[in-house]
Amino acid sequence: MINLCQIIINGLIIGAIYSLVSSGFSLIYSTNKFIHFAHGAVISFSAYIFWMFFSSIHFSFFLSIFLALTFSGCLGWALNYFVYKSFRKKKSSGNIMLIVSFGILIFLESVIQIIFGARVKLINFDFLSKMIFIFGARVNYLQIITIFVSILCFIILFIFLNKTRLGKAVRAVSDNKDVAEIVGIDSEKIYSLSFVIGSLFAGIAGVLIGLNQALSISMERA
């Protein structure tokens, strides 16, 4: 019984991380209609940025999280604005965009290696490692926070997409971009917004993964 509880809780924790990564990924995919492979590199980059501010520069925990998330959102915006937008203007096909996203993935991994080096990094925050027992299963605070944050992000995203004017515009663009433009929705702004939100989610996942495991250049592939 204890083993079963442990397996369920471990599954929930992994599922929570996956849901964070995939909700950002699918938001970008649904509006932009191509697979943004570099999404994984945004996860790694934000984890490294969090490590830099928290473990290397020794900023406070929450300030480091804030800076890492700000960075990931800005990185998503920059990738769209400086790279994908120009390919969209040339009416590049989904296949070309896919290859471009592979290129960005390799580029970002190389940048991480140049800035932070190839050695594995660890983020130590003892408070989050404290264990509690739920129906006999061992769970630490970080894992509980991971599940809580994931559910919270999912609810916020759901409310944004279904209850706000801008969120509905995101859904409208992902449904029919041409009609969305005819009713006055600026699809470029929506692409940009979906990259920022999607990358923000990747950033949250990066911070949580970084707190949970060692940082390595291709950690997002694990």
Provide the binding-site residues for other proteins, judged by CB under 8 A: 165, 168-169, 171-172, 175-176, 178-186
Nearer to other proteins, 138 or 171 (CB): 171
CA distance 151 to 158: 10
Nearer to other proteins, 182 or 222 (CB): 182
CA distance 26 to 32: 10
- Find the shortest distance in angstroms from Cβ 181 to other proteins: 6
- Find the shortest distance in angstroms from Cβ 60 to other proteins: 40
CA distance 84 to 94: 11
- Find the shortest distance in angstroms from Cβ 91 to other proteins: 10
Contact assessment for residue 69 and residue 203, using Cβ atoms and an 8 Å cutoff:
yes
Nearer to other proteins, 87 or 188 (CB): 188
Which residues is 134 bridged to in the sheet?
137
- Find the shortest distance in angstroms from Cβ 165 to other proteins: 7
Which residues is 138 bridged to in the sheet?
133
Pull the structure tokens for residue 130: 């404290």
- Find the shortest distance in angstroms from Cβ 21 to other proteins: 23
- Find the shortest distance in angstroms from Cβ 95 to other proteins: 21
Nearer to other proteins, 93 or 176 (CB): 176
Pull the structure tokens for residue 208: 């949580």
Give me the phi and psi of 215, to 5 degrees please. Answer: -90, 130
Q: If residue 210 lies in a helix (H) or strand (E), which one and from where to where? A: helix 187-212
Nearer to other proteins, 56 or 162 (CB): 162
Contact assessment for residue 195 and residue 28, using Cβ atoms and an 8 Å cutoff:
yes
Nearer to other proteins, 42 or 173 (CB): 173
Nearest to 207 by CA among 120, 127, 149: 149
Taking the alpha carbons of 107, 37, 102, 96 in that order, is the dihedral positive or negative?
negative
